[in-house]
Amino acid sequence: MRVSFGLIITVGAVLATAPSRAQTFDPSYPVCMRVYSGANGGGGEWYDCSFTSLPQCRATASGRPATCDLNPYYPVNVPPPRRHYRRSS
């Protein structure tokens, strides 16, 4: 009895966990379009990270159920901080 209860709890916990999702943003492009597809209970949404600018993405998203956002995984080229050297007197 105790083993079957433990088995039921274990199986329920495994089935209740949500599947993990891979990263949906391509780090190669700075702008992503989030496309909403489907209506009540269907479709879902997906990302298209193939845009080089917000105006380009907005032109593609025009007339579609979509929005454009900056890609949070796009590597920004920030120059390294300058080193300050002290002069000895």
Using the predicted structure, report yes or no on whether residue 60 has a pLDDT greater than 60.
Answer: yes
Is pLDDT of 56 > 60? yes
Determine if the pTM surpasses 0.85: no
Q: Which residue has the higher pLDDT, 57 or 38?
A: 57
Confidence of residue 27 (pLDDT cuts 50, 70, 90): confident
Count CA atoms within 13 Å of residue 78 on its CB side: 6
Whole-angstrom Cα distance, residue 76 to residue 59? 24
- Paired with 70 in beta bridges are 31
Are 25 and 68 in contact by the 8 Å Cβ rule? The answer is: no
pLDDT band at 63 (very low <50, low <70, confident <90, very high): very high
Res 73 pLDDT > 60: yes
**CA proximity to 51, closest of 38, 60, 42:** 60
Cβ 24 vs Cβ 33: under 8 Å: no
Contact residues for 43 (Cβ-Cβ < 8 A; gap 6+): 36, 37
Structure tokens at 14: 């495994």
